[in-house]
Structure 1
Amino acid sequence: MKDQKKSYRKFFSVLAAAAITTSISAPAAFASANTPSSMKTNIHNNNVKKAKKDKNYDLTIMHTNDTHAHIDNVARKLSAIKQVRAENPNSLLLDAGDVFTGTLYFNQFEGLADLEFMNLAGYDAMTFGNHEFDKGTATLANFIKSANFPFVSANVNFQKDSNLKDIFIDRVEKHPENGEIYNGMIKTLNGEKIGIFGLTTAETKDISSPGPGVEFENYIEEANQAVAALKEKGVNKIIALTHIGYNDGGGDNDLTLAKEVEGIDVIVGGHSHDKLDQPVVVEAGEEPTVIVQANEYNKYLGTLDIEFDKKGKVVDYSGKLIDLDQKVGTAYVIPDDPKAAQILETNYKPTIVEMQQTVIGKTTVDLIGGNPPARTGETNLGNLVTDGMLAKAKTINPETVIALQNGGGIRTSVAAGDITLAKVFEIMPFGNTLGIMKLTGAEIKEALEISVKDAPNAFGGFLQVSGLRFTYDSSKTLGQKVQSIDVKEDGANYVPIDPSKTYAVATNTFTAKGGDGYTVFAKAYSEGRVSEPGYVDWEIFTDYIGTQEGKTISPSVEGRIINLAN
């Protein structure tokens, strides 16, 4: 199998050398603790002496997830797809959901811009992310009906939804039609049947707008039924295309799926935006399950080369993420696909450039952010950002009482006057998404100690806060700087934090997964205490300003963060 892949591997070797590592950030620690280091070796060694090697079957899976309307680099993605496909005729191209919501391309074109490029690329199947329901099922129906590929989701029932019931077929389908929804489907490649079924996080009903006609069913039960239905049709190579998160704390995730459902060979995942540079293998049953996920925002094209024996068991695999934005000097390693580039520049980009000049509100005062202000102390912009984050989190989990934002994610200041969308993107250019953590008061104190560890010097992880105030003494010993913490438990009045009490705390998922050294948050994430509704920061900020009277703001410094050493 590996010799067969040399050509396109060589094509992307520059990418591998410069951009592909073996670290998986926060999920890596969890995976290494739960996956034997010898697993891949065992899969190899136990099957090296195969008497009928010619009966084995090689498959290449290209995969994307959580692209969220980021299509400025889509022409490079088309080039990468074409190259991989040209070298690997037994290939699939799959998307694990959340094409919708995240940039102005979605605000303007409601997914149809993304879809034109997905159709051009030749996707084989897609599952639904929670954000596919953000505009209700009428918008989603327009997207599905225009697709040149089918959709799969075994645990979402559309039979009572007026917009989707006519294109929903509640079964595993041997001959799927484009623009229709199935529990699962069979794709025949070079005479071999590949089964694909989908799963969508049940959190969707709480964090998006599916409407009363869409029902979310138990993902473990439905996965077992889908696997059984595929096996009844003679399929022994089964892919779960999921939007439930790698180790998400929302009640469903890929690690649990792999452990509890026998018969899944590959999980192509999404929702948690994990950058799995290497496939993760779970060996909990009779056969191993390989898990992949390709981060977010069209930054990568995931590739997985997988070898099955004649019984459909995974006996070999290799995978990596192709960095679509890597440069050598000023030139991109992957060139634009000419047709895709022409469509983007002609049909879509001019509208977006114009929209960026849209005024979304007005500030009567300078908004202070950037380095060092947002990284050394409370700022009025930090207060505004976290207030908006807290307001959004409360609509999802009304028990949320605190919001935290790393100062390094507030990149610049804004002069008094009109606020344009272009300026909002300068403030928060990373597209970080919302996460809601369950933390004890003691863990919150531990986090605040990390926040002020470098004080009074600048630190990108310095936390701006809402729903909370604290004092610290930068002259004190590391770990002993925080002197007091108060929380607005009722949303109005501050009371001292209770070290033993559990609080719902909003932040961005970069921080929630342990970014900027927040090991206390990474621990909570690994223990399944972080829910990821996924709303993007710039849109939360814009919507919050839109709720203010006259869309006019005058935030101030309120004494939320006080350095007693000053």
Structure 2
Amino acid sequence: MNRREFLQILAVAAAGGMGLSNSARAAEQAAAKFYDLPRFGNVHLLHFTDCHAQLLPIYFREPSVNLGVAGARNQPPHLVGDYFLKHYGFAPGSAQAYAYTCLDFEQAARQYGKVGGFAHLATLVRRLKAGRPGALLLDGGDTWQGSATALWTKAQDMIDASLQLGVDIMTAHWEFTLGTERVQEVVDGAFKGKIDFIAQNIKTADFGDPVFPAYTMREMNGVKLAVIGQAFPYTPIANPRYMVSEWTFGIQEANLQKTIDEARGKGAQAVVLLSHNGMDVDLKLATRVRGLDAILGGHTHDGVPEPVVVANAGGKTLVTNAGSNGKFLAVLDFDVKNGKVSDFRYKLMPVFANYLEADPAMAALIDKVRAPYAAKLAEPLAVTDDTLYRRGNFNGTFDQLILDALMAEKGAEIGFSPGFRWGTSLLPGATITMEHLMDQTAITYPYTTVTEMPGSQIKTVLEDVADNLFNPDPYYQQGGDMVRVGGLRYSIEPGKPAGSRIGDMSLNGKPIEADKKYKVAGWAPVAEGAKGEPVWDVVARHLRAHKTIGKLALNEPVVKGMQGNEGSI
């Protein structure tokens, strides 16, 4: 152990509330204790979600803006920075502050290192399962998309990694952008008899037949457990409909209640929902159905250290969300007595790659699947002087880089880039490789577009996306963040009604005219038949030409009416 490693372990040990020692051995023991979670009860669930195909450890900066409106204002998950630390009692500068917030990100990243990585996650899973007989590993989806190798192998790298990791049960979202045939090929092939792929809310478009099992029943330590699947309900809206044209989605409240009742009728003493709704949707859903002991949620990438306890007609439901990019592993232990859950323990555990040894078998698998693409992944494109990240309601520096490239390379006045939440981060001084670029752009519909749009249509686009994000009714929110905008300046008032949130639109200091047409570059069109140069080719060309990326001027809207909102630093 070198001095740097020793000091890092001490830092983690101290963050965990443990005393420091002068010996390296004691420091190693303290680091091990950081991940020592005593067994509780008789039903054990491990949960990760939204890893977005990140097999290796990464940096990932959490948002500085995650606004909550209406009933979600200043409530989890809409807390950032110091507000988050105060709410959960974490110390500034601690390992938890690094894991959950963007505070002092560059300094903290260099102190605590990278997060996630399937080889390190595998070590933690193995350790926790060893102390929890029968424990199940649940995958909340968005696993097969988000990296170059996942795109180029049609997710075979992630399928193999999931099997190696020991995933037991899974639901999905971005998986469907590989097409229904590919999903069914995996479910009926590699996963058959090994991983239960469940979704109570996906039906055939013709006769309304279930496409996948709604739930799976397991017995653990003498207790019957039901896990119900909830795939992303807005897949045909947020992603191309033609990719899932034969299926319908939706929240399907009534069918969910029917499924819960059926599972209870078959003797389930504990029932959980493995959800990809997004946390705000799950919080509302928990008030409207009865009989769920917990919702293990994903989609909105919120790392929430403690469950929110929601009251409903049947009692109480725990609502959780387990972050993204392999940064966290959630552990939910139930104590089931007399046919029902009597108590629980929950822990969301950050996965620090520096403090968990890489599992040899998983590391070997990762090396194998990456080997054919190593040279292409490692191609250097440019060096960044700025921290590059994508996360937050309105913009991120990597988003800004994409926008700048689109406008420059396509000769456009305005750029639009989707408000995707996935995408890794880079520290100043890092070389931007093709792999890093693909981490931001690896989708099956990467086409760039150039469109002449009147000012009135531009406003309509912004208003529609704003309503998807800030509608006071969570059931009308579709996840994701605000479309990222280049060139155009505007203001937004999230608390206003639909159609009246966007104002002060201008370009180069001049007001946008409703009838005037503007040249707009974008990417990721959802319309069937769309074609165009892949976005990664456009941005790579821009990066190669510039070689160095300086400090980026972040184009964010003027936000109105959000004074005192703890979802903004």
Q: Fold conserved (TM > 0.5)?
A: yes
1:323 matched to 2:350? The reply is yes
The alpha-carbon deviation at position 385 of structure 1 amounts to: 2.5
- Between the two structures, name the one with larger relative contact order (CA 8 Å, sep ≥ 6): 2
- For residues 504 and 132 of structure 2, the distance between their equivalents in structure 1, rounded to whole angstroms, comes to 58
**1:367 Cα deviation (Å)?**
10
Q: Could you tell me how far 1:89 is from its partner in structure 2?
A: 0.5
Q: Provide, for residues 207-231 of structure 1, a one-character-per-residue CA deviation record: whole Å limited to 9, x for no partner.
A: 2243210111443122111112112
Of 235, 251, 254, the match for 1:221: 254
Secondary structure, aligned partner of 1:61: strand
Q: Which residue of 2 aligns with 1:133?
A: 176
CA contact (8 A) 2:310 2:317 kept: yes
Could you tell me which residue of structure 1 aligns to residue 225 of structure 2?
194
Aligned CA-pair RMSD: 5.1
Tell me how far apart the structure 2 counterparts of residues 470 and 554 of structure 1 sit (CA, whole Å). Answer: 30
Q: Taking structure 1 as reference, are residues 554 and 268 closer, same or farther at Cα in structure 2, changes over 3 Å only?
A: same
Superposition map of 1:79-94 within 5 A: 79-94=123-138
Quote the Cα distance in structure 2 between the aligned partners of 1:309 and 1:14. 40
Change in CA separation of 1:420 and 1:295 when aligned onto 2, cut-off 3 Å: closer
2:44/2:136 contact within 8 Å kept: yes
Distance in 1 (CA, whole Å) between partners of 2:214 and 2:535 is: 38
Specify which of 35, 42, 45 is matched with residue 58 of structure 1: 42
Q: For structure 2, which runs of at least 5 residues remain unmatched after alignment?
A: 1-8, 18-39, 57-116, 389-396, 409-414, 442-461, 469-482, 492-502, 515-521, 527-531, 557-569
Q: 2:517 matched to 1:486? A: no
Give the C-alpha shift of residue 132 in structure 1: 0.7
Q: Report the alpha carbon displacement of residue 122 of structure 1 after superposing the two structures with TM.
A: 2.4
Aligned to 2:448: none
Residues 115-171 of structure 1: CA deviation (Å, up to 9, x unaligned): 222222322210112x0111211222233221121111000114769xxx9xx866x
Counterpart pick for 1:544 among 535, 539, 544? 535
**Pairs within 5 Å for 1:550-561:** none
Structure 2 CA distance for aligned equivalents of residues 115 and 149 of structure 1: 10
Distance change (3 Å), C-alpha of 1:160 and 1:79: farther
Q: Matched residue of 1:289: which SS?
A: strand
For 1:551 and 1:239, the matched residues in 2 are separated by: 47
Which letter does structure 2 place at the counterpart of 1:322? M
Question: Aligned-pair distance for 1:242?
Answer: 0.6
Describe the shift of the 1:132–1:160 C-alpha distance in structure 2 as closer, same or farther (beyond 3 A).
Answer: farther
Report the CA distance shift for 1:409/1:468 in structure 2 as closer, same or farther (over 3 A). Answer: farther
Distance 2:385 2:141 in 1: 34
Q: Is 1:333 aligned to residue 376 of structure 2?
A: no
Determine if contact 1:96/1:242 at 8 Å carries over to the other structure: yes
* 2-structure distance, mates of 1:76, 1:310: 38
Give 1:68's match in structure 2, choosing from 52, 76, 80.
52
Residue 370 of structure 1 corresponds to which residue in structure 2? 386
User: Following the alignment from structure 1 to structure 2, what is the Cα–Cα distance between the partners of residues 267 and 469?
Assistant: 39
Deviations 1:286-337 (A, max 9, x none): 321112222111112111112233131x3322211222225xxxxx322122
Q: 1:17 to 1:111 in 2, by over 3 A?
A: farther
Distance 1:349 1:545, change over 3 A: closer
The residue aligned with 1:254 is: 282
Separation (CA, whole Å) in 1 of partners of 2:220 and 2:169: 14
In structure 2, give the amino acid aligned to 1:70.
Q
Matches within 5 A, 1:528-543: 543=534
8 Å contact kept, 2:49–2:141: yes
1:125-164 equivalences in 2 (<5 Å): 125-129=169-173, 131-144=174-187, 145-147=189-191, 148-158=194-204
Counterpart-to-counterpart distance in 2, 1:405 and 1:311: 42
> Is 1:212 aligned to 2:245, yes or no?
yes
Question: 2:403–2:416: 8 Å Cα contact kept in structure 1?
Answer: no
What is the CA–CA distance in structure 1 between the aligned matches of 2:490 and 2:272, rounded to whole Å?
A: 49
Q: Rg: which structure is higher? A: 1
1:254-302 superposed Cα distances (whole Å, 9 cap, x missing partner): 1011111000001111111110112222123332111222211111211
310, 320, 335: which one pairs with 1:307?
A: 335
1:270 to 295, 298, 317: 298
Q: Secondary structure at the match of 2:219?
A: strand
Q: Count the aligned residue pairs.
A: 382
User: Equivalent residue of 1:193, what SS?
Assistant: strand
Cα 1:68–1:402 change in 2 (3 A) is closer
Which deviations, in whole Å up to 9, do the C-alpha atoms of 1:29-51 show, x marking residues without a partner? xxxxxxxxxxxxxxxxxxxxxxx
Q: Which moved more, 1:273-282 or 1:114-123?
A: 114-123
After TM superposition, the score normalised by the length of structure 2 is 0.56
Q: Distance in 2 between matches of 1:414 and 1:120?
A: 31
Partner of 1:49: none
Superposed, 1:146-185 pairs within 5 Å as 146-147=190-191, 148-158=194-204, 181-185=212-216
Q: CA deviation at 1:381?
A: 9.2
Q: Distance in 1 between matches of 2:143 and 2:438?
A: 20
Shift of 1:547: 6.2
Give the match's secondary structure for 1:105. helix
State the 1:561 CA deviation. 7.8
Deviations 1:174-233 (A, max 9, x none): xxxxxxx30112111223211111112221002224321011144312211111211221
Please say if 1:348 is aligned against 2:345: no
> Which aligned pairs between 1:419-430 and structure 2 lie closer than 5 A?
421-422=434-435, 424=437
Matched, 1:280 2:308: yes
Change over 3 Å in CA distance of 1:487–1:272 after alignment to 2: same
Distance 2:143 2:284 in 1: 24
Shift of 1:465: 4.9
Q: State yes or no: 1:121 paired with 2:148.
A: no
Aligned to 2:155: 111
**Aligned equivalents of 1:114 and 1:371: distance in 2?**
28
Partner of 1:278, secondary structure, is coil
Query: Is the alpha carbon distance of 1:80 and 1:262 closer, same or farther for their aligned partners in structure 2, counting shifts above 3 Å?
Result: same
Equivalent residue letter for 2:535: Y
Q: 2:121 aligns with which of 70, 77, 88?
A: 77
Distance 2:365 2:540 in 1: 40
Distance 2:124 2:386 in 1: 36
2:147 and 2:435 in contact (8 A); partners too: no
- Matched residue type, 1:318: R
The equivalent of 1:203 in structure 2 is: 234
The corresponding residue for 1:431 is none
Distance 1:371 1:245, change over 3 A: closer
Aligned-partner Cα distance in 2 for 1:19–1:138: 46
Q: What is the SS of the residue equivalent to 1:350?
A: helix
Structure 2 distance, partners of 1:381, 1:311, is: 51
Alignment partners' CA distance in 2, 1:13 and 1:239: 37
SS across alignment from 2:15 = helix
Residue 486 of structure 2 is matched in structure 1 by: 466
Task: Name the SS of the counterpart of 1:84 in structure 2.
Answer: helix
Cα distance in 1 for residues equivalent to 2:439 and 2:244: 34
Ranges of 4+ aligned residues in structure 1 off by more than 4 Å? 12-17, 158-161, 357-360, 366-369, 380-384, 387-391, 400-406, 408-415, 425-428, 547-557, 559-562
The answer to whether the 8 Å contact 1:111/1:143 transfers is no
CA 1:290–1:369 in structure 2 vs 1: closer, same or farther (change >3 Å)?
same
What's the secondary structure of 1:336's corresponding residue? coil
Aligned to 2:269: 236
Alpha-carbon distance in structure 2 between the residues aligned to 1:367 and 1:341: 28
1:267–1:552: structure 2 CA closer, same or farther, 3 Å change rule? closer
Deviation (angstroms), 1:358 = 5.4
Relative to the length of structure 1, the TM-score reads: 0.56
- Residue 386 of structure 1 and its aligned partner are, at CA, apart by 3.1
- Structure 2: how far apart are the matches of 1:325 and 1:410? 17
Write the distance in 1 (CA, Å) between the matches of 2:275 and 2:149: 24
3-state SS of 2:143 partner: coil
Q: Decide whether the 8 Å contact of 1:485 with 1:496 is kept in 2.
A: no
Q: Secondary structure at the match of 1:438?
A: helix
